[in-house]
Chains A and B, each alone.
Chain A
Protein backbone atom coordinates (compact mmCIF):
# COMPACT_ATOMS: atom_id res chain seq x y z
CA UNK A 1 0.00 0.00 0.00
CA UNK A 2 2.57 2.53 -1.11
CA UNK A 3 2.28 5.41 -3.52
CA UNK A 4 1.30 9.00 -3.05
CA UNK A 5 -0.01 9.79 0.39
CA UNK A 6 -3.18 11.80 -0.24
CA UNK A 7 -3.47 12.66 3.45
CA UNK A 8 -0.17 14.54 3.30
CA UNK A 9 -1.54 16.97 0.71
CA UNK A 10 -3.12 20.31 1.57
CA UNK A 11 -6.65 18.93 1.14
CA UNK A 12 -5.68 15.81 3.04
CA UNK A 13 -4.66 17.67 6.18
CA UNK A 14 -7.70 19.96 5.91
CA UNK A 15 -9.94 16.91 5.65
CA UNK A 16 -8.38 15.33 8.73
CA UNK A 17 -8.71 18.58 10.72
CA UNK A 18 -12.35 18.84 9.62
CA UNK A 19 -13.01 15.22 10.67
CA UNK A 20 -11.58 15.81 14.14
CA UNK A 21 -13.53 19.08 14.31
CA UNK A 22 -16.80 17.24 13.72
CA UNK A 23 -16.06 14.17 15.85
CA UNK A 24 -14.90 16.02 19.00
CA UNK A 25 -18.13 17.99 19.59
CA UNK A 26 -20.08 14.81 18.79
CA UNK A 27 -18.19 12.98 21.54
CA UNK A 28 -19.17 15.84 23.85
CA UNK A 29 -22.80 15.40 22.78
CA UNK A 30 -22.48 11.69 23.57
CA UNK A 31 -21.21 12.34 27.08
CA UNK A 32 -17.66 13.74 27.14
CA UNK A 33 -17.16 16.89 29.29
CA UNK A 34 -17.89 20.43 28.07
CA UNK A 35 -15.56 21.73 25.33
CA UNK A 36 -13.60 18.53 25.97
CA UNK A 37 -14.77 16.24 23.21
CA UNK A 38 -11.10 15.43 22.89
CA UNK A 39 -8.30 16.73 25.10
CA UNK A 40 -5.09 14.76 25.01
CA UNK A 41 -3.68 16.24 28.22
CA UNK A 42 -6.97 16.00 30.17
CA UNK A 43 -7.59 12.45 29.01
CA UNK A 44 -4.07 11.31 29.91
CA UNK A 45 -4.67 12.97 33.27
CA UNK A 46 -7.89 10.96 33.63
CA UNK A 47 -5.96 7.78 32.80
CA UNK A 48 -3.43 8.66 35.51
CA UNK A 49 -6.43 9.02 37.85
CA UNK A 50 -7.98 5.72 36.77
CA UNK A 51 -4.69 4.03 37.66
CA UNK A 52 -4.55 5.80 41.02
CA UNK A 53 -1.37 7.75 40.17
CA UNK A 54 -3.29 10.67 41.61
CA UNK A 55 -6.43 10.56 43.73
CA UNK A 56 -8.32 13.62 42.52
CA UNK A 57 -11.76 12.03 42.68
CA UNK A 58 -13.28 14.11 39.87
CA UNK A 59 -10.79 13.17 37.12
CA UNK A 60 -10.49 9.39 37.04
CA UNK A 61 -11.44 7.46 33.91
CA UNK A 62 -9.61 5.13 31.54
CA UNK A 63 -10.15 7.23 28.39
CA UNK A 64 -10.47 4.96 25.33
CA UNK A 65 -9.73 7.86 22.94
CA UNK A 66 -6.05 7.94 24.00
CA UNK A 67 -5.77 4.16 23.64
CA UNK A 68 -7.35 4.46 20.18
CA UNK A 69 -4.96 7.21 19.10
CA UNK A 70 -1.92 5.00 19.72
CA UNK A 71 -3.39 1.77 18.34
CA UNK A 72 -4.96 3.49 15.29
CA UNK A 73 -1.60 5.00 14.44
CA UNK A 74 0.09 1.60 14.88
CA UNK A 75 -2.36 -0.01 12.46
CA UNK A 76 -1.86 2.76 9.87
CA UNK A 77 1.92 2.59 10.23
CA UNK A 78 1.96 -1.18 9.65
CA UNK A 79 -0.56 -1.05 6.82
CA UNK A 80 1.44 1.57 4.93
CA UNK A 81 4.84 0.12 5.84
CA UNK A 82 5.84 3.15 7.85
CA UNK A 83 6.44 1.38 11.15
CA UNK A 84 9.98 2.34 12.16
CA UNK A 85 11.06 1.20 15.61
CA UNK A 86 13.53 3.78 16.88
CA UNK A 87 14.88 5.02 20.20
CA UNK A 88 17.65 6.87 21.93
CA UNK A 89 17.23 10.60 21.32
CA UNK A 90 17.70 11.89 24.89
CA UNK A 91 14.79 9.96 26.45
CA UNK A 92 15.18 11.41 29.95
CA UNK A 93 14.97 14.94 28.54
CA UNK A 94 11.79 13.98 26.69
CA UNK A 95 10.38 12.56 29.93
CA UNK A 96 11.05 15.84 31.76
CA UNK A 97 9.54 17.84 28.88
CA UNK A 98 6.46 15.60 29.06
CA UNK A 99 6.10 16.20 32.81
CA UNK A 100 6.25 19.98 32.42
CA UNK A 101 4.09 20.01 29.30
CA UNK A 102 1.39 18.36 31.41
CA UNK A 103 1.92 20.67 34.39
CA UNK A 104 1.50 23.71 32.10
CA UNK A 105 -1.53 22.22 30.36
CA UNK A 106 -3.27 21.52 33.68
CA UNK A 107 -2.73 25.12 34.82
CA UNK A 108 -4.57 26.24 31.67
CA UNK A 109 -6.91 23.22 31.81
CA UNK A 110 -6.30 21.81 28.37
CA UNK A 111 -3.81 20.93 25.68
CA UNK A 112 -3.65 22.70 22.28
CA UNK A 113 -6.45 20.39 21.05
CA UNK A 114 -8.73 21.48 23.83
CA UNK A 115 -7.62 25.12 23.55
CA UNK A 116 -9.01 25.23 20.03
CA UNK A 117 -12.10 23.20 21.00
CA UNK A 118 -12.74 25.62 23.88
CA UNK A 119 -12.53 28.54 21.45
CA UNK A 120 -14.86 26.72 19.06
CA UNK A 121 -17.31 26.37 21.97
CA UNK A 122 -17.18 30.10 22.70
CA UNK A 123 -14.79 30.06 25.71
CA UNK A 124 -12.90 33.38 25.52
CA UNK A 125 -10.28 32.18 28.01
CA UNK A 126 -8.99 29.94 25.24
CA UNK A 127 -7.75 33.06 23.44
CA UNK A 128 -5.29 33.66 26.27
CA UNK A 129 -4.28 30.00 26.14
CA UNK A 130 -3.71 30.06 22.38
CA UNK A 131 -1.70 33.29 22.66
CA UNK A 132 0.40 31.66 25.38
CA UNK A 133 0.81 28.54 23.26
CA UNK A 134 2.01 30.64 20.33
CA UNK A 135 4.41 32.56 22.57
CA UNK A 136 5.88 29.35 24.01
CA UNK A 137 6.32 27.84 20.56
CA UNK A 138 7.94 31.08 19.33
CA UNK A 139 10.49 30.84 22.16
CA UNK A 140 11.07 27.23 21.12
CA UNK A 141 11.79 28.27 17.54
CA UNK A 142 14.48 30.68 18.80
CA UNK A 143 16.27 27.67 20.29
CA UNK A 144 15.74 25.65 17.11
CA UNK A 145 17.33 28.45 15.08
CA UNK A 146 20.32 28.42 17.45
CA UNK A 147 20.89 24.74 16.82
CA UNK A 148 18.85 23.13 19.63
CA UNK A 149 18.75 19.41 18.97
CA UNK A 150 18.18 16.32 21.11
CA UNK A 151 20.30 14.12 18.86
CA UNK A 152 19.70 11.17 16.57
CA UNK A 153 17.63 8.11 17.24
CA UNK A 154 18.85 4.58 16.53
CA UNK A 155 16.90 1.84 14.84
CA UNK A 156 15.84 -0.73 17.43
CA UNK A 157 13.87 -3.98 17.78
CA UNK A 158 10.35 -3.96 16.38
CA UNK A 159 9.12 -5.07 19.81
CA UNK A 160 10.72 -2.01 21.46
CA UNK A 161 8.32 0.14 19.46
CA UNK A 162 5.38 -1.97 20.64
CA UNK A 163 5.90 -1.03 24.30
CA UNK A 164 3.50 1.93 24.45
CA UNK A 165 0.92 0.28 22.15
CA UNK A 166 1.07 -2.81 24.40
CA UNK A 167 0.67 -0.66 27.51
CA UNK A 168 -2.39 0.94 25.88
CA UNK A 169 -3.76 -2.49 24.96
CA UNK A 170 -3.26 -3.49 28.59
CA UNK A 171 -5.22 -0.41 29.70
CA UNK A 172 -8.03 -1.38 27.33
CA UNK A 173 -8.14 -4.93 28.69
CA UNK A 174 -8.30 -3.50 32.23
CA UNK A 175 -11.22 -1.30 31.19
CA UNK A 176 -13.07 -4.39 29.90
CA UNK A 177 -12.23 -6.56 32.93
CA UNK A 178 -13.07 -3.83 35.45
CA UNK A 179 -15.86 -1.75 33.89
CA UNK A 180 -17.51 1.13 35.69
CA UNK A 181 -20.15 -0.02 38.17
CA UNK A 182 -23.13 2.18 38.95
CA UNK A 183 -22.42 4.34 42.00
CA UNK A 184 -19.00 2.79 42.76
CA UNK A 185 -15.75 4.73 42.65
CA UNK A 186 -13.59 1.68 42.14
CA UNK A 187 -13.75 -1.66 40.38
CA UNK A 188 -10.75 -3.94 40.79
CA UNK A 189 -7.62 -1.91 40.06
CA UNK A 190 -9.36 0.99 38.29
CA UNK A 191 -10.70 4.15 39.87
CA UNK A 192 -13.82 5.85 38.51
CA UNK A 193 -15.18 9.35 39.12
CA UNK A 194 -18.72 9.63 40.44
CA UNK A 195 -18.91 13.34 39.65
CA UNK A 196 -16.93 15.97 37.76
CA UNK A 197 -15.34 15.68 34.30
CA UNK A 198 -14.09 12.16 34.99
CA UNK A 199 -17.68 10.94 35.37
CA UNK A 200 -18.64 12.34 31.96
CA UNK A 201 -17.86 10.18 29.01
CA UNK A 202 -19.22 8.86 25.75
CA UNK A 203 -19.89 5.09 25.56
CA UNK A 204 -16.61 3.17 25.71
CA UNK A 205 -16.87 1.57 22.27
CA UNK A 206 -17.81 4.85 20.56
CA UNK A 207 -14.83 6.61 22.15
CA UNK A 208 -12.56 3.74 21.19
CA UNK A 209 -13.69 3.64 17.55
CA UNK A 210 -13.40 7.43 17.17
CA UNK A 211 -9.95 7.29 18.79
CA UNK A 212 -8.83 4.52 16.44
CA UNK A 213 -10.11 6.46 13.42
CA UNK A 214 -8.41 9.69 14.42
CA UNK A 215 -5.19 7.80 15.26
CA UNK A 216 -5.24 6.24 11.80
CA UNK A 217 -5.94 9.54 9.98
CA UNK A 218 -3.47 11.55 12.05
CA UNK A 219 -0.67 9.06 11.41
CA UNK A 220 -1.28 9.34 7.67
CA UNK A 221 -1.58 13.14 7.66
CA UNK A 222 1.07 13.95 10.35
CA UNK A 223 -1.53 16.19 12.02
CA UNK A 224 0.17 18.28 14.73
CA UNK A 225 -1.23 21.29 16.56
CA UNK A 226 2.17 22.52 17.79
CA UNK A 227 3.77 22.01 14.38
CA UNK A 228 0.91 24.04 12.88
CA UNK A 229 2.10 27.15 14.70
CA UNK A 230 5.81 26.31 14.69
CA UNK A 231 6.03 25.85 10.92
CA UNK A 232 4.47 29.27 10.32
CA UNK A 233 6.89 30.97 12.74
CA UNK A 234 9.94 29.01 11.63
CA UNK A 235 9.46 28.50 7.89
CA UNK A 236 6.40 30.55 6.90
CA UNK A 237 4.70 27.25 5.99
CA UNK A 238 0.95 26.97 6.46
CA UNK A 239 0.50 23.28 5.62
CA UNK A 240 -0.15 21.97 9.15
CA UNK A 241 -1.88 25.21 10.13
CA UNK A 242 -4.57 24.59 7.53
CA UNK A 243 -5.45 21.34 9.35
CA UNK A 244 -5.54 23.11 12.71
CA UNK A 245 -7.77 25.88 11.30
CA UNK A 246 -10.08 23.31 9.71
CA UNK A 247 -10.44 21.73 13.16
CA UNK A 248 -11.42 25.12 14.63
CA UNK A 249 -13.94 25.98 11.88
CA UNK A 250 -15.63 22.58 11.76
CA UNK A 251 -15.77 22.28 15.55
CA UNK A 252 -17.39 25.74 15.69
CA UNK A 253 -19.97 24.80 13.05
CA UNK A 254 -20.69 21.45 14.70
CA UNK A 255 -21.12 23.17 18.07
CA UNK A 256 -23.62 25.56 16.46
CA UNK A 257 -25.60 22.68 14.98
CA UNK A 258 -25.59 20.80 18.31
CA UNK A 259 -26.40 23.98 20.32
CA UNK A 260 -23.16 23.63 22.27
CA UNK A 261 -21.84 27.13 21.48
CA UNK A 262 -21.90 29.58 24.40
CA UNK A 263 -19.79 32.71 24.21
CA UNK A 264 -18.14 34.30 27.24
CA UNK A 265 -15.34 34.16 29.78
CA UNK A 266 -17.05 33.34 33.08
CA UNK A 267 -18.81 30.08 33.81
CA UNK A 268 -17.27 28.11 30.96
CA UNK A 269 -17.03 24.35 31.49
CA UNK A 270 -13.79 23.13 33.14
CA UNK A 271 -12.13 26.55 32.82
CA UNK A 272 -11.00 29.48 34.96
CA UNK A 273 -10.60 33.17 34.17
CA UNK A 274 -7.11 33.93 35.51
CA UNK A 275 -5.82 35.31 32.24
CA UNK A 276 -2.14 35.57 33.12
CA UNK A 277 -1.97 31.94 34.21
CA UNK A 278 -4.03 30.72 31.28
CA UNK A 279 -1.40 32.41 29.12
CA UNK A 280 1.63 31.28 31.14
CA UNK A 281 0.47 27.68 31.60
CA UNK A 282 0.01 27.25 27.88
CA UNK A 283 3.29 29.09 27.15
CA UNK A 284 5.08 26.47 29.27
CA UNK A 285 3.27 23.68 27.43
CA UNK A 286 3.97 25.21 24.01
CA UNK A 287 7.66 25.55 24.79
CA UNK A 288 7.88 21.96 26.04
CA UNK A 289 6.01 20.63 22.96
CA UNK A 290 8.26 22.68 20.65
CA UNK A 291 11.40 21.35 22.33
CA UNK A 292 10.04 17.79 22.13
CA UNK A 293 9.04 18.17 18.46
CA UNK A 294 5.30 17.55 18.65
CA UNK A 295 2.00 18.29 20.35
CA UNK A 296 0.63 15.72 22.82
CA UNK A 297 -1.50 14.10 20.10
CA UNK A 298 1.40 13.89 17.70
CA UNK A 299 3.52 12.24 20.42
CA UNK A 300 0.86 9.51 20.70
CA UNK A 301 0.79 9.02 16.92
CA UNK A 302 4.60 8.93 16.74
CA UNK A 303 4.68 6.38 19.55
CA UNK A 304 2.22 4.28 17.52
CA UNK A 305 4.58 4.25 14.54
CA UNK A 306 7.50 3.02 16.64
CA UNK A 307 9.07 6.17 18.10
CA UNK A 308 10.07 5.14 21.62
CA UNK A 309 11.23 8.65 22.50
CA UNK A 310 7.73 9.96 21.85
CA UNK A 311 6.47 7.09 24.05
CA UNK A 312 8.75 8.31 26.84
CA UNK A 313 7.28 11.81 26.43
CA UNK A 314 3.79 10.31 26.81
CA UNK A 315 4.82 8.51 29.99
CA UNK A 316 6.25 11.83 31.21
CA UNK A 317 2.86 13.45 30.64
CA UNK A 318 0.99 10.72 32.52
CA UNK A 319 3.41 10.93 35.45
CA UNK A 320 3.25 14.74 35.22
CA UNK A 321 -0.52 14.50 35.69
CA UNK A 322 0.05 12.49 38.87
CA UNK A 323 2.48 15.12 40.13
CA UNK A 324 0.11 17.95 39.18
CA UNK A 325 -2.80 16.63 41.18
CA UNK A 326 -0.82 15.19 44.11
CA UNK A 327 1.05 18.45 44.66
CA UNK A 328 -1.79 20.91 44.07
CA UNK A 329 -0.38 22.29 40.81
CA UNK A 330 -3.46 21.71 38.65
CA UNK A 331 -6.13 24.37 38.29
CA UNK A 332 -9.84 23.93 38.86
CA UNK A 333 -12.81 26.07 37.79
CA UNK A 334 -12.06 28.10 40.97
CA UNK A 335 -8.63 29.10 39.64
CA UNK A 336 -5.02 27.97 39.78
CA UNK A 337 -3.95 25.40 42.37
CA UNK A 338 -2.00 26.41 45.51
CA UNK A 339 1.37 25.56 43.95
CA UNK A 340 0.50 26.04 40.28
CA UNK A 341 2.26 29.37 39.87
CA UNK A 342 5.70 28.31 41.21
CA UNK A 343 5.40 25.11 39.17
CA UNK A 344 4.90 27.09 35.95
CA UNK A 345 7.90 29.30 36.75
CA UNK A 346 10.10 26.29 37.53
CA UNK A 347 8.88 24.58 34.35
CA UNK A 348 9.77 27.55 32.19
CA UNK A 349 13.24 27.74 33.78
CA UNK A 350 13.79 24.01 33.18
CA UNK A 351 12.71 24.33 29.53
CA UNK A 352 14.99 27.35 29.02
CA UNK A 353 17.86 25.36 30.54
CA UNK A 354 17.17 22.45 28.15
CA UNK A 355 16.89 24.80 25.16
CA UNK A 356 20.09 26.64 26.00
CA UNK A 357 22.30 23.69 26.83
CA UNK A 358 21.34 21.04 24.28
CA UNK A 359 22.69 22.20 20.98
CA UNK A 360 24.08 20.47 17.95
CA UNK A 361 27.85 20.63 17.95
CA UNK A 362 28.81 23.08 15.23
CA UNK A 363 29.50 21.07 12.10
Chain B
Protein backbone atom coordinates (compact mmCIF):
# COMPACT_ATOMS: atom_id res chain seq x y z
CA UNK B 1 0.00 0.00 0.00
CA UNK B 2 1.39 3.38 -0.99
CA UNK B 3 1.06 6.47 1.16
CA UNK B 4 -0.33 9.53 -0.59
CA UNK B 5 0.72 13.10 0.20
CA UNK B 6 -1.59 15.74 -1.23
CA UNK B 7 0.44 18.94 -1.47
CA UNK B 8 -1.65 20.57 -4.18
CA UNK B 9 -2.24 24.26 -3.66
CA UNK B 10 0.51 24.52 -1.06
CA UNK B 11 3.47 26.75 -1.69
CA UNK B 12 7.16 26.31 -1.04
CA UNK B 13 8.39 24.74 1.27
CA UNK B 14 5.22 22.91 2.43
CA UNK B 15 5.26 20.13 -0.22
CA UNK B 16 8.84 19.25 0.74
CA UNK B 17 8.10 19.32 4.48
CA UNK B 18 5.08 17.02 3.98
CA UNK B 19 7.06 14.60 1.79
CA UNK B 20 9.94 14.43 4.28
CA UNK B 21 7.45 13.89 7.15
CA UNK B 22 5.99 10.94 5.27
CA UNK B 23 9.46 9.55 4.55
CA UNK B 24 10.38 9.91 8.23
CA UNK B 25 7.34 7.89 9.25
CA UNK B 26 9.00 5.05 7.35
CA UNK B 27 5.77 3.07 7.06
CA UNK B 28 5.49 2.73 3.31
CA UNK B 29 8.06 1.76 0.73
CA UNK B 30 6.12 3.62 -1.93
CA UNK B 31 4.96 7.22 -1.60
CA UNK B 32 2.79 9.15 -4.03
CA UNK B 33 2.99 12.94 -3.88
CA UNK B 34 0.48 15.18 -5.63
CA UNK B 35 1.67 18.70 -6.47
CA UNK B 36 0.39 21.45 -8.75
CA UNK B 37 3.48 23.43 -9.77
CA UNK B 38 6.69 22.55 -11.59
CA UNK B 39 8.68 24.12 -8.78
CA UNK B 40 7.10 21.76 -6.24
CA UNK B 41 7.67 18.81 -8.58
CA UNK B 42 11.40 19.64 -8.78
CA UNK B 43 11.76 20.41 -5.06
CA UNK B 44 9.94 17.27 -3.91
CA UNK B 45 11.92 15.05 -6.30
CA UNK B 46 15.22 16.61 -5.21
CA UNK B 47 14.41 16.21 -1.50
CA UNK B 48 13.21 12.60 -1.89
CA UNK B 49 16.33 11.61 -3.83
CA UNK B 50 18.50 13.09 -1.08
CA UNK B 51 16.73 10.72 1.34
CA UNK B 52 17.57 7.65 -0.76
CA UNK B 53 14.26 7.47 -2.60
CA UNK B 54 13.99 6.86 -6.32
CA UNK B 55 11.54 8.75 -8.49
CA UNK B 56 9.78 6.05 -10.50
CA UNK B 57 7.22 8.01 -12.34
CA UNK B 58 5.96 11.54 -12.83
CA UNK B 59 2.65 11.84 -14.64
CA UNK B 60 0.55 14.87 -15.41
CA UNK B 61 -2.66 14.78 -13.46
CA UNK B 62 -5.28 17.49 -13.68
CA UNK B 63 -3.49 20.81 -13.34
CA UNK B 64 -0.46 19.22 -11.68
CA UNK B 65 1.64 16.11 -11.27
CA UNK B 66 1.55 12.74 -9.55
CA UNK B 67 5.03 11.74 -8.38
CA UNK B 68 5.60 8.09 -7.49
CA UNK B 69 8.70 7.27 -5.48
CA UNK B 70 10.07 4.16 -3.79
CA UNK B 71 12.70 3.56 -1.15
CA UNK B 72 16.10 2.31 -2.29
Contact = CB atoms under 8 A, between A and B. Distances in A.
Interface of A: 5, 8, 80, 82, 84, 86, 89, 144-145, 149-150, 152-155, 222, 224, 227, 230-231, 234-235, 237, 239, 293-294, 302, 307, 309
Contact of B9 (A153, A235, A294): A153
A5 B42 contact: yes
Given A86-B36, A234-B17, A237-B47, 6 more contacts: A8-B42, A84-B37, A144-B17, A149-B10, A235-B13, A309-B11
Contacts of A144: 13, 17
A293 B13 contact: yes
A80 B39 CA distance: 12
Interface in B1-34: 8-14, 16-17, 20
A167 B39 CA distance: 25
Interface string B35-53: 0111100110011001000
Contact of A84 (B13, B17, B50, B63): B63
Chain B contact patch, size range: 20 to 34
22 contacts: A5-B42, A8-B42, A80-B38, A84-B36, A84-B63, A86-B36, A144-B13, A144-B17, A145-B17, A152-B9, A222-B39, A231-B13, A234-B13, A235-B13, A235-B20, A235-B47, A235-B50, A237-B47, A237-B50, A293-B11, A293-B13, A307-B11
A150 B11 CA distance: 9
A345 B50 CA distance: 39
Nearest to B50: A237
Contacts of A309: 11
